[in-house]
Amino acid sequence: MRSAALVCMALGACRGADARTDAPTTTPTAASDSQYTPAAMVAAFRAKVADHPTQLGAGATTRRDALVAGYVRALAHSDTAAFRAMQMTVGEFAWLYYLDSPMARKPYELDPDVMCLQISSQSTRGLTRALARFGGHALGAPTPACEPPQTAGALRLHTCAVTLRAPDTRTDVTIPLSIVERDGRFKFVGYGNGL
């Protein structure tokens, strides 16, 4: 498995991991297939994480629209600290998100290190592009357009979008937003957006 340091080095869901380098590495064999079940993979991943949250913590909201409004506000102020607070931490990913995620289940069974890296890299790229295009501009208070949420175990996964007027071209740009809800609390999964 990749070390947590590599996986969690970028801004995104995978920040804040404890980069233990003494974790054993294994090579998959037919006899060790049980080591590669989602439960076994997340146990190994969790062993590298410093925190063990029981709910979505600081930066979470109790209303989806408030989270989206926070995104637009942070974008207008180029507030990267606010963006970090509104996104899942690596602990929240490990303890509250991964096992219920559709990507952790068949037919995908994506390794948590790989999933975390994908979320992190897409998030960093999407947020960098959104800030370059909209950061520091008055954006108003757009209303999000959201699809009905999908239930996955203890999670409710929301796919929303906000449409903003690009200050450089004066054209409307729609930004997709991936939101996780757990126990009535909302955070962004990541900031990947295709910009």
pTM of the prediction?
0.81
Mean pLDDT of the chain: 84
In a domain, 23, yes or no: no
End-to-end CA distance of the chain: 30
CA distances from 38 to 42, 62, 98, 115, 143 (A): 6, 29, 9, 12, 37
Each residue of 46-56: pLDDT tens digit?
Answer: 999 989 999 99
pLDDT at site 158: 97
User: Residue 27: pLDDT above 80?
Assistant: no
In a domain, 70, yes or no: yes
3-state secondary structure of 186: strand
pLDDT at site 58: 92
In a domain, 22, yes or no: no
In a domain, 13, yes or no: yes
d(CA 190, CA 193): 9
Summarize the confidence of residues 58-69 as an average pLDDT: 95
| Domain that includes residue 13, residue range | 4-17+35-190
In a domain, 195, yes or no: no
Summarize the confidence of residues 8-36 as an average pLDDT: 44
Amino acid at the residue 151: T
Residues 82/67, Cβ–Cβ less than 8 Å: no
Q: Which of the four pLDDT bands, split at 50, 70 and 90, describes residue 32?
A: low
In a domain, 24, yes or no: no
Domain count, the chain: 1
DSSP string, 44-79: HHHTT-S---SS--TT-BSSHHHHHHHHHHHHHTT-
Each residue of 82-121: pLDDT tens digit?
Answer: 999 999 999 999 999 999 999 988 888 889 999 999 999 9
d(CA 186, CA 96): 12
**High-pLDDT (> 90) share of the chain, %:** 65
Q: Please state the separation of Cα 117 from the chain's center in Å.
A: 10
Each residue of 127-178: pLDDT tens digit?
Answer: 999 999 999 998 887 888 999 999 999 999 999 999 998 887 788 899 999 9
